[in-house]
Amino acid sequence: MKTILYYFTGTGNSLAVARAIAERLPDTELIPIPMLLLKGDKIRAPEDANIGIVYPLYAMGLPNIVVRFFDILDLTSAGYVFSVVTEGGTYGSPTKQIAALTQQSGHDLNAAWWIQMPNNYIPLSAPPAKPEQKTIREDALRKVAVLVESVSRRSPRHIDLTITGKLLRLIMYKGFSKWGRPNFSKKFVVGANCNGCMLCVDVCPVNNIRELPKGKKEWLNHCEGCLACLQFCPVEAISCGGKTDERPRYHHPNVTAADMKAQKGAGEDLHNE
């Protein structure tokens, strides 16, 4: 049975989870969401396929890039649709939000999962220490094994937040969408130690960073807030807010800058209409 995993990742956590699912689930294909949005064509799910959407939690809700992806995704022919959200400890599960989007695209959401991964949002807090990161990733693989078994059986699974959690998510997500996301690009600062490698331009999943003369760069106005530019900078020249200078950077140890660039690369079988 064919499975397609459409994924978006900022620091590699969601890609690592998607890869772990693909390794355990036969006949599974990984396709990056940023590449499909840059291509712009309508995407039609293969007949009776399992369709998974793998993405990180942003402000206890969906990343804007995932929301926009549903504008080009046709799920009418899919057999089973599930979502997998990776989160850093807030236990957010935007099930209602993504269920509405899948239904809009032609299919009910059959199952929803959250998987904790190491926290990577360093404007708010430092990532866990390396030993704790390792434990979290090992626990995530155990949950992936359960998820794969459930998907193989096409089992229903719907988990969302408590009423208090839903209210908090509503406040956080609407607040970030209205004030945080439009102004996020203004928070980035490039230090004097920048070596002009332009890796930040390459790894940005939405091409929000523009190269300027003499190795300088400019953040535009459609930032996702994924922090890939900051986390993958080889000399840690980029900061976002006053406290990030003091905090260790984080990206998944098995995800490289080349993997991040590949999110925007060309693919072969994209199920275009």
Cβ–Cβ under 8 Å, residues 142 and 79: no
- What pLDDT is recorded for position 88? 86
Domains in the chain, please, with CATH?
A: 3-164 (3.40.50.360), 184-260 (3.30.70.20)
| pLDDT the model gives residue 215 | 75
The pair of structure tokens assigned to 211 is 């190269």
- Joined tokens for residue 185: 């690009």
Please give the pLDDT value at position 181.
62
**DSSP three-state, residue 114:** strand
pTM of the entire predicted model: 0.91
**Alpha helices (runs of H) in the chain, residue ranges in sequence order:** 13-24, 33-39, 64-69, 95-104, 130-153, 163-175, 181-183, 199-203, 228-232, 257-262
Give the pLDDT confidence score for residue 89 in this predicted structure: 72
Query: Mean pLDDT by 10-residue block, N- to C-terminus, for the chain (273 residues)?
Result: 96 98 97 96 96 91 93 98 89 80 96 94 93 97 97 87 59 56 82 92 94 85 93 96 90 96 67 40
